[in-house]
């Protein structure tokens, strides 16, 4: 469990700001660093809804709202796992040029301490950073991560019904809709 209501993870990536930014904001295909989910969102601007869905779009694992966008520097959004009744937290990605590459910082704020969300966010940050680094530098995640994602795909068959995308549509209110 997290010891504090925030967690920070950093990695130096031998890649351009543009390449890292593209990888964390793309919507055209699954994002390996984000557990191979595909980002669905409105415009890349504050107030737009955001959802992370399986590649086939059947399941929505995360919903939120974009809070801040500073191209090539900062992307922040709220974050709520659809499988849990836990409060949302805030995820902030910051990019800065450093030593011929990009210093990538992932900060999770307002972590709901003592919850499944808190535990998953605290442990997932290192994997997100490592996978992002590997994808930007080599073009693909490690074999171990690819195998893990294959397992996730099989486990998708066991996803709670409340995570079905039909319960989490993106709407015009600035938030992804919630399960009733």
Q: What's the first-to-final CA gap in the chain, in angstroms? A: 29
- Please provide the average confidence, as pLDDT, over all residues in the chain: 89
Count the Cβ atoms, other than its own, within 10 Å of residue 115: 18
The residue among 26 and 3 whose pLDDT is bigger is 26
Rounded to 5 degrees, φ, ψ at 141 are -70, 165
**pLDDT the model gives residue 60:** 93
Mean pLDDT in residue range 39-48: 95
Per-residue pLDDT at 105 exceeds 60: yes
Task: Confirm if 133 and 11 have CB atoms less than 8 A apart.
Answer: yes
- Is the pTM here over 0.85, yes or no? yes
Task: Confirm if 141 and 35 have CB atoms less than 8 A apart.
Answer: no
């Amino acid at each position: 469990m997290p010891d504090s209501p925030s967690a920070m993870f950093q990695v130096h990536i031998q890649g351009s700001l543009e390449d890292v930014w593209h990888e964390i904001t793309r919507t055209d295909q699954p994002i390996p660093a984000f557990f191979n989910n595909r980002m669905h969102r409105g415009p890349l601007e504050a107030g737009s809804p955001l959802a992370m869905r399986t590649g086939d779009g059947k399941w929505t694992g995360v919903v939120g709202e974009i809070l801040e966008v500073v191209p090539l520097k900062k992307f922040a959004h709220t974050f709520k796992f659809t499988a849990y009744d836990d409060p949302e937290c805030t995820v902030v990605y910051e990019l800065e040029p450093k030593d011929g590459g990009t210093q990538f910082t992932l900060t999770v704020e307002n972590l709901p301490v003592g919850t499944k969300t808190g535990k998953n966010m605290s442990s997932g940050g290192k994997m997100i950073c490592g996978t992002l680094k590997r994808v930007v530098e080599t073009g693909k995640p490690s074999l171990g991560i690819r195998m893990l994602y294959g397992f996730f795909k099989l486990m998708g068959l066991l996803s709670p019904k409340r995570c079905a995308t039909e319960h989490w549509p993106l709407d015009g209110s600035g938030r992804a809709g919630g399960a009733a």
